[in-house]
Amino acid sequence: MAEFTMVLPQYGMGMQDGEIVRWLKEAGDRVEEGENMVEVEAAKTTVEVPAPVSGTLLRIIAQPGDTVDVREAIAIIETG
């Protein structure tokens, strides 16, 4: 088993950060690559961020209401 750090992706060149709106999954949930996991508001639009890998969501780092920088860790997924 390996741990994968999920980071906030950059959607567009001007995006510097995003606010976590709500998690669609909870710690302990199984996630599949490409499955939407979290809603993020950035540049006045809300986007759903998919799981970058399949596995189990071990820990949510960024909570709803948190503003995080692009490429900052938002969750840990256990793969394998």
Digit-coded pLDDT (tens) for 21-32: 999 999 999 999
- State the CATH number of the domain containing residue 19: 2.40.50.100
| Statement: residue 48 has pLDDT above 80 | yes
What is the domain extent for residue 64? 2-79
Q: What confidence category does residue 46 fall into, taking pLDDT thresholds of 50, 70 and 90? A: very high
Number of domains in the chain: 1
| Statement: residue 43 has pLDDT above 90 | no
* Average pLDDT value for residue range 29-54: 95
Q: Which two tokens stand for residue 10?
A: 């950059």
